[in-house]
């Protein structure tokens, strides 16, 4: 079972929960395990083997793209983030000590790149927002009138506090463990668990009005 479904699974007879499970897991696959020997691959890259660089990119590019796209939500911006992630990774490869899996180390770089891109975009949006949109920008927690569950779910995820959102996306959507998330974000695994609990609770609360609509369908 995809981990994204567990946070709402309380009553298997409730069709609302089944819909949320589908919405969260649709179009997302668990992060694949590395099929390469990390240290051997890094050694080849450091020795100047261009085939090894290509192998590193091909092994992890899809996973990195999924991570950054979850944060920035735009295909072009996500592609830019993927490229920046690998540029930074190749520049910093000498700092990799193997204390975490290579995929987790790359993920931490990807999260940093994606968040920087997202913050920059939000600053630009606030700077250029027309007057009629000022109230929406100033009050991001305002209730969204969109009736579609999928749209509302993604919108509510976007409105989560940054820490909650990062942990929720990495754990429930991408399937990383709390230990891996802790390494990526530089926090304790207990902090990751607490933020996930709060993120799930807030989403259940904000999406509660969909339960009777789906149940009565």
* C-alpha to C-alpha distances, 175 to 2, 164, 168, nearest whole angstrom: 8, 15, 10
Contact 110, 68 (CB under 8 A): yes
Taking alpha carbons only, the member of 215, 163, 214 closest to residue 192 is 163
Q: What pLDDT, on a 0 to 100 scale, did the predictor assign at position 65? A: 94
Q: Locate tokens 């927690």: which residue?
A: 141
Taking alpha carbons only, the member of 166, 173, 172, 174 closest to residue 191 is 166
Q: What pLDDT, on a 0 to 100 scale, did the predictor assign at position 123? A: 55
Same domain for 188 and 91, yes or no, is no
Among 120, 139, 158, which residue terminates a domain? Answer: 139
Ramachandran sector of residue 186 (left: φ over 0; alpha: ψ -120 to 50; beta: rest): left
Taking alpha carbons only, the member of 144, 160, 145 closest to residue 7 is 160
Among 139, 160, 194, which residue terminates a domain? Answer: 139
Q: Spell out the per-residue pLDDT of the chain, length 217, in tens.
A: 333 434 433 444 444 444 454 455 544 444 444 445 888 888 899 888 999 999 999 999 999 999 999 888 889 999 999 999 999 999 998 888 888 889 999 999 999 999 888 887 665 554 444 434 433 333 344 344 445 777 888 888 888 998 999 999 898 888 899 999 998 988 999 999 999 999 999 988 888 877 654 444 4
Q: What pLDDT, on a 0 to 100 scale, did the predictor assign at position 158? A: 85
Among 89, 122, 139, which residue terminates a domain? Answer: 139
Same domain for 71 and 123, yes or no, is yes
Q: In this predicted model, what pLDDT tens digit does every residue of 62-109 receive, in sequence order?
A: 999 999 998 888 899 999 999 999 999 999 988 888 888 899 999 999
Same domain for 149 and 133, yes or no, is no
Q: What pLDDT, on a 0 to 100 scale, did the predictor assign at position 73? A: 85
- 57 HSE (CA, 13 A, CB side): 15
Structural domain containing residue 133: 33-139
Same domain for 150 and 188, yes or no, is yes
CATH assignment of the domain containing 102: 1.10.1740.10
In sign, the C-alpha dihedral spanning 136, 141, 145, 147 is: positive
Q: Say how many domains are in the chain.
A: 2
Same domain for 37 and 114, yes or no, is yes
Contact 153, 24 (CB under 8 A): yes
Distance separating alpha carbons of residues 208 and 115, to the nearest angstrom: 29
Q: Locate tokens 């409730």: which residue?
A: 14
Same domain for 116 and 178, yes or no, is no
CATH assignment of the domain containing 194: 1.10.10.10
Same domain for 108 and 26, yes or no, is no
Q: What pLDDT, on a 0 to 100 scale, did the predictor assign at position 212? A: 55
pTM of the model: 0.66
Same domain for 119 and 51, yes or no, is yes
Same domain for 91 and 113, yes or no, is yes
Q: What pLDDT, on a 0 to 100 scale, did the predictor assign at position 4? A: 40
């Amino acid at each position: 079972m995809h981990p994204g479904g567990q946070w709402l699974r309380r009553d298997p007879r409730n069709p609302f929960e089944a819909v949320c499970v589908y919405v969260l897991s649709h179009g997302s696959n668990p992060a694949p395990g590395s099929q390469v020997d990390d240290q051997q691959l890094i050694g080849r890259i450091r020795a100047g083997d261009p085939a090894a660089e290509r192998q590193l990119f091909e092994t992890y590019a899809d996973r990195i793209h999924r991570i950054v796209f979850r944060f920035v939500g735009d295909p072009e911006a996500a592609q830019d983030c993927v490229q920046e992630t690998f540029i930074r990774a190749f520049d910093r490869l000498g700092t990799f000590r193997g204390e975490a899996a290579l995929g987790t180390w790359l993920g931490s770089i990807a999260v940093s790149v994606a968040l920087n891109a997202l913050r920059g975009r939000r600053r630009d949006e606030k700077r250029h927002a027309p007057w009629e949109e000022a109230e929406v920008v100033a009050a991001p927690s305002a209730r969204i009138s969109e009736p579609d569950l999928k749209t509302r779910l993604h919108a509510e995820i976007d409105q989560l506090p940054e820490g909650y959102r990062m942990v929720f996306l990495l754990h429930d959507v991408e399937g990383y463990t709390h230990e891996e998330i802790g390494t990526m974000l530089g926090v304790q695994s207990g902090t990751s668990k607490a933020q996930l609990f709060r993120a799930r609770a807030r989403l259940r609360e904000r999406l509660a009005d969909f339960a009777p609509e789906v149940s009565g369908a």
